[in-house]
Amino acid sequence: METNHSGKKILVIDDEPDFLCLIEARLKKENLQVITAEMGKVGLEKIKTDHPDLILLDLMMPQIDGFAVLGILKTNPQTRKIPVIILSARNTPENVNRSVRLGAHAFIAKDSGFDYLISIIKDILANPDRKQELSA
């Protein structure tokens, strides 16, 4: 059955190749287009060329971390409206609060499970202007 999120582009920025493969396979089962980037800098370049509808962003990456990527996205008029979900193993109150301040739409712990992640992605794609409740 065709859904309103079918064909939407999701950019996943994470420095763990195994995780990227896993999440790419799961998102493709939901009829989403998936673009991956193993570094924040590469992710910023892919945003310019691929124009994603939503970004899944890890926090802890070498060179440029997820907070820096989020800050760049939310201060740029061309990218500030792209919804960003922080997807991190470091779900501390400090990281959640900082993500909120920088403009994240949601913060999801990596161990929350794919069903939960998919439900949040679908909700944000259907309502891109509404932010989720964020909590650690």
pLDDT digits (tens, 9 = 90+) for 83-127: 999 999 888 999 999 998 999 999 999 989 899 999 999 999 998
- Strand (E) or helix (H) holding 10: strand 9-13
Contact (Cβ atoms closer than 8 angstroms) between residue 54 and residue 125: yes
Model pTM above 0.85: yes
Buried b (16+ CB within 10 A) or exposed e, 74-112: beeeebeebbbbbbbeebeeebbebbbebbbbbbbbbee
pLDDT in tens, 23-60: 999 999 999 999 999 999 999 999 999 999 999 999 99
Whose tokens are 């779900």? That residue is 91
- Domain residues of the chain, as ranges? 9-126
The answer as to CATH 3.40.50.2300 being correct for domain 9-126 is: yes
Residue 128 has pLDDT above 90, yes or no: no
Residue 4 has pLDDT above 80, yes or no: no
